[in-house]
Structure 1
Amino acid sequence: MKQPLFALRSTTDYNQFNFIEHNRDIDPKNLKTIEKSILEHGLKTPLMVTSDGYITDGQHRFISLRKNNLPIWYVINNYSTADDVEIMNNDRRDWVTKDRLHNQAVKGSLSCKKILELTDDWKDDFPFMTVVDAYNSTLNSSSSLIKNKKYDIDIDLGDAVLDNCIQMSDVIERAKQTKFVRALKRIMITNENFDVDHLIKNSYKRKLNVYNREGDIVKEIVEVYNYRKRNNLIKE
C-alpha cells in the first residue's frame, strides 16, 4: 500500500531527529526570537522531516522545543530527502528577494524594475537569483545589496555573462547553474581579454569540472582556459 505524502505526529523523543549537515547554520538571534515566541504563544508551525528523521524545515524550532522539554509536533514527508532542504531554502530566498525588488520598483528604482523584467525574460534558461546575480553591476552579494537598497544593474555585463553560459552549456552540462554563472562573471570582470570561444575550444580538450564551491570553479576555468596557452593568459 502506498504511503500518504504527509503524516502529522508528536513526540518528546528528541533523539529520533537528525540535523542535515549542509543546512543553514544556527542563527543565535533568530533562535532567541523563536524561543520567545514559542514560550509566549506556543508552536504555530510544525517541523518538516524526512521519513528517516532528518529535519528539512524547523531546526531552530526543534532546538527551542528541546531546550524547554516541550513536545515536538512534526510532519513527515514520506517522499522527501535531505537534499530537498536546499531547494526549499532557495525558494524562500527567491520570494524574499522578489518582494524586496517589487517594493523598491514600486517606489521608483529603475534597476529593480528592470531586473524583474529580465528575470522573466530569462526564466526558461536560468533560476531567478542567477539572473539577478548576473546583472548585478558588482561582485558583492545581490541579496545584501537589495536588502540595503543599493542594487544596480549592468545590462551589457549581464547579457554577456548569460549569453556566454548559454554557449558553454553545449559543452558543460552545469553551465547554467548559479555557481558557474557567478564564477564565469568573476572571470569576465577580472580579465578583459577573456574569450568564451577559446574556453569552449579548450573545454573539448580538457574537461572543465563544475565543483560545489564557486572559488574552485573559478580556479578550474582559469586552468582550462590557460591549458597549453602561452600568451594572453587569464587569472583568478
Structure 2
Amino acid sequence: MKDGPDIARIAALIGDPARANMLTALMGGRALTASELAQEAGITAQTASSHLARLAEGGLIGQRRQGRHRYHQLASAEVAALLEALMGFAAGAGHLRRRPGPRDPAMRRARVCYDHLAGEMGTIMFESMLARGHLVRADETIVLTDAGRDFARAFLQAEPGGKSRAPLCRECLDWSERRSHLAGQMGRAMLGRMTDLGWARRQSDSRVIRFSPEGERQFHAMFSG
C-alpha cells in the first residue's frame, strides 16, 4: 500500500448521496440538528445519525450540544472550500442533480458560502479588489496589500484580521461562476459589514443573499466600473 493522504476515504464519505446532501445543507454556515439534516437528505433520523457519525469521524463535520439538542456544522472553512470546488467541477462537467428552478437565479446572483459572499456578486467584489490593487496573488496565495488594508479599515471601520487562525484572505472557486470569490477572515468581515449596513440580508431557510435596491447601488458604486 502506498503512503500518503487517504483521499479515497474522504471521497467515499462525500460521495454517498445522502451525506453529500447533508454536507451541502451545512454550506450555509448554520448548525443543524440530525432531524433537520435527515429531512434535507430524504432519509430517516436513525440513518442520518449513522451518516453524521461517519462524517464526524472523518473530520468533515463538528458537533456541539446546546441543552438537550446536538447540532452539526462543517468542521472548518477548508471543508467548505473543498465542497465548493467539487460543486464547481460537477456543474462544469454537467453533473446536475435537477433542472434549474425559480430559486436558481437568486442562488447564482448572491449566496452565502459558509461565511462569505459567493455567486455573481462575490466574484464581482473579488475581481474588483484585485483590479484595484487591494489584493494580489503571490505564491499561490492571496495577499491584502497596504492599499487594501486602508480600504478595509475605511469600509469595515476596524482593523482587518483578528485572533482567528483562519487565513486573512483566501481564494475560493465559485461553483456557479467558475471564477473565484473572496473567503477567509476578510471575506467573512466584508459580508458581515454589508449586512450590518443594511445592504443585504440572508433569505430565511436559504443560502440566498438578498440585496436591497440601495444596497445593490452602493455595492456596484464600490466594486463595479
- How high is the TM-score relative to the length of structure 2? 0.31
TM-score (norm 1): 0.30
**Which structure has the larger Rg?**
1
Greater RCO, 1 or 2 (C-alpha within 8 Å, sep 6+): 2
In terms of fraction of residues, the more strand-rich structure is 2
